[in-house]
Amino acid sequence: MRLQPVHIEWNRKVIDEARRRGFTAYQQTHANHRTADPSLILIRGPRILHVWLRTGRRKPVPQADAYTQAGREAHVWYPADWPFVRSTLLLPEPEPTAPEAEEVTDRAWAIVAATAEERPEDVRQLVNPLDWSSQLAVMYALATCCVCFMAGAESSSLTDEQRARVAELARRQLMQRASSRDDG
């Protein structure tokens, strides 16, 4: 489908505004792309917008409705929608919700138990449903569990000597792993 100058100008205006607002813009560039596909995909953090850009007379775009029903953020924008376009692009990224510390620690210990018992499927089921920030929190809790165990401590109140010993063990392990990758 060959774009007319009015379409190209409208695409450029939306892309420029999206980039100004911190979005990465992917657009259909091949000449024979399907009109059923979004004109643009805009990404900023976890937010993904599927956008059909149109000019001329308003017509329904069933594909956008299908995307919305599937839980995706989808929009059909016409030049007359410019104020709405700008306000949509101004919406902040959704704030990640941090899990409770107790929940993170419980999950971390469950992962330790599943790992010790060689149950990788259970580990996947404990980790996969979490968003990235929650996975990081669990990884930190796991590292804390490992540090306490390696130091022989019952709690996270370690002495400087215990911390130094654990850090040295971890560095040696990293060097061994790097060496075995270089040899292999």
Q: Which tens digit of pLDDT belongs to each residue from 30-50?
A: 555 666 788 888 988 888 899
pLDDT band at 92 (very low <50, low <70, confident <90, very high): confident
- Whole-angstrom CA distances from 153 to 4, 45, 149 are 70, 39, 6
Distance CA 134, CA 130 (A): 6
Query: Is the distance from CB of 142 to CB of 130 less than 8 angstroms?
Result: no
For the chain, which residues make up each domain, given as ranges? 5-90, 101-183
Q: 3-state DSSP helix/strand/coil percent for the chain, to nearest 5? A: 55, 10, 30
Query: Is the distance from CB of 13 to CB of 19 less than 8 angstroms?
Result: no
Question: Apex CA 143: angle with CA 142 and CA 144, to 5°?
Answer: 90
Instruction: Say which range, 42-51, 105-114, 144-153, has the weakest mean pLDDT.
Output: 144-153
- Whole-angstrom CA distances from 118 to 17, 111, 113, 114 are 50, 10, 9, 6
Distance CA 97, CA 51 (A): 27
List the CATH code of the domain at 5-90.
3.40.1350.10
The residue ranking higher by pLDDT, 67 or 176, is 67
pLDDT band at 18 (very low <50, low <70, confident <90, very high): very high
Q: Which residues contact 37 (CB under 8 A, 6 or more apart)?
A: 28, 63
